[in-house]
Amino acid sequence: MSDLSVLIVGCGDVGGRLARQMLARGWHVSGLRRAVGQLPHGVVPVAADLAEPAIPSAWPSHAPDYLVYCVAASQHDEAGYQAAYVQGLRHVQGWLAERGQRPRRLLFVSSSSVFAQKGGEWVDEQSPTSPEGYSGRVMLEAEQLALAGECPASVVRLTGIYGPGREWLLSQVRQGYRVAEQPPLYGNRIHAEDAASLLAFLLQADADGRALDDCYIGVDDDPAPLADVVGWLREYMGVTHWSDEQRVRRTGSKRCSNARARALGWVPAYPSYKEGYAAILQGSASN
């Protein structure tokens, strides 16, 4: 059993997977969310609403060694993103200050939406960020708030998360939706379990005394053209019809690199969409 502790703020899908992985490593894990009844077994519940500025009564009396801010906006507009990622983080930083707590490191879970590249370019942590949409702009504001806080921080920009329960593309393919082949629309994705494993890897690396950068991209090894992904899924699922009216739509086209995380030693369990979607479909078939 480790003496290390982590508080996961926003202990939902990815946060819950992270909690289980850290419990397996012997860490003490607390999870903050409104509905604590949905926390994984073994997680110490911290019931709180991030929209409320007052410190929650269940806030830990002892400083967590690590804090992971891993929330999801419940309202998908600019106000909702501001509330979840900026105001919520400000409240958590205020609660830490109120109790005189200073974790060893904060991991702030962000998004590749901070990148605006759309011409198929390779993107890494040092690439320019000039987001055009509100989601990327708000995420960038929240990243800067995290990095300017009292404790050391690293930002983890996750790409398109998929996994059990996150099966939008599978639904589109089953309905025969088309996707443009030229120019290639590159997509970036990471299996939810790998998103959690990257966060777990970074926590353990910091605890082991390894120096962390201030930013990492969470993505698999294969930022493939969407047409290739759809073609492979059609063949795997045996879909032969095409819809006359609908297309799989997406904006932007870039290729995100995981070289920095790989150089630190992280290895995704699902290196491409093939392994990840095969595992989802096999799991669906066995249920």
Task: Tell me if 175 is assigned to some domain.
Answer: no
Task: Tell me if 19 is assigned to some domain.
Answer: yes
Angle between helical axes of 192-207 and 13-24 (0-180°, round to 10): 50
Alpha helices (runs of H) in the chain, residue ranges in sequence order: 13-24, 78-81, 88-99, 134-147, 168-174, 192-207, 226-237, 259-264, 273-286
pLDDT at residue 287, as a whole number: 43
Question: Distance between CA 125 and CA 112 in Å, rounded?
Answer: 10
DSSP string, 47-92: E--TT--SPPTTS-SS--SEEEE----SS-SHHHHIIIIIIHHHHH
pLDDT at residue 1, as a whole number: 58
Task: Tell me if 49 is assigned to some domain.
Answer: yes
What pairs with residue 46 in β-bridges? 32
DSSP letter, residue 37: G
Domain enclosing residue 77, as ranges: 5-163+190-221+257-270
Question: Distance between CA 250 and CA 244 in Å, rounded?
Answer: 18
Task: Tell me if 113 is assigned to some domain.
Answer: yes
Task: Tell me if 168 is assigned to some domain.
Answer: no
Question: Distance between CA 107 and CA 265 in Å, rounded?
Answer: 18
Chain segment 241-275, per-residue pLDDT in tens: 988 776 766 667 899 999 999 999 999 999 999 99
pLDDT at residue 279, as a whole number: 94
Do 80 and 176 touch, CB atoms closer than 8 A?
no
pLDDT at residue 147, as a whole number: 97
Instruction: State which residues of the chain have pLDDT below 70.
Output: 1, 246, 248-251, 284-287
Chain segment 171-202, per-residue pLDDT in tens: 999 999 888 788 888 999 999 999 999 999 99
Task: Tell me if 236 is assigned to some domain.
Answer: no
Indicate the pTM of the whole model: 0.95
What pairs with residue 33 in β-bridges? 47
Task: Tell me if 243 is assigned to some domain.
Answer: no
Do 22 and 1 touch, CB atoms closer than 8 A?
no
Task: Tell me if 287 is assigned to some domain.
Answer: no
Split into its structural domains, the chain has a count of 1
pLDDT at residue 139, as a whole number: 95
- The CATH code of the domain that includes 38 is 3.40.50.720
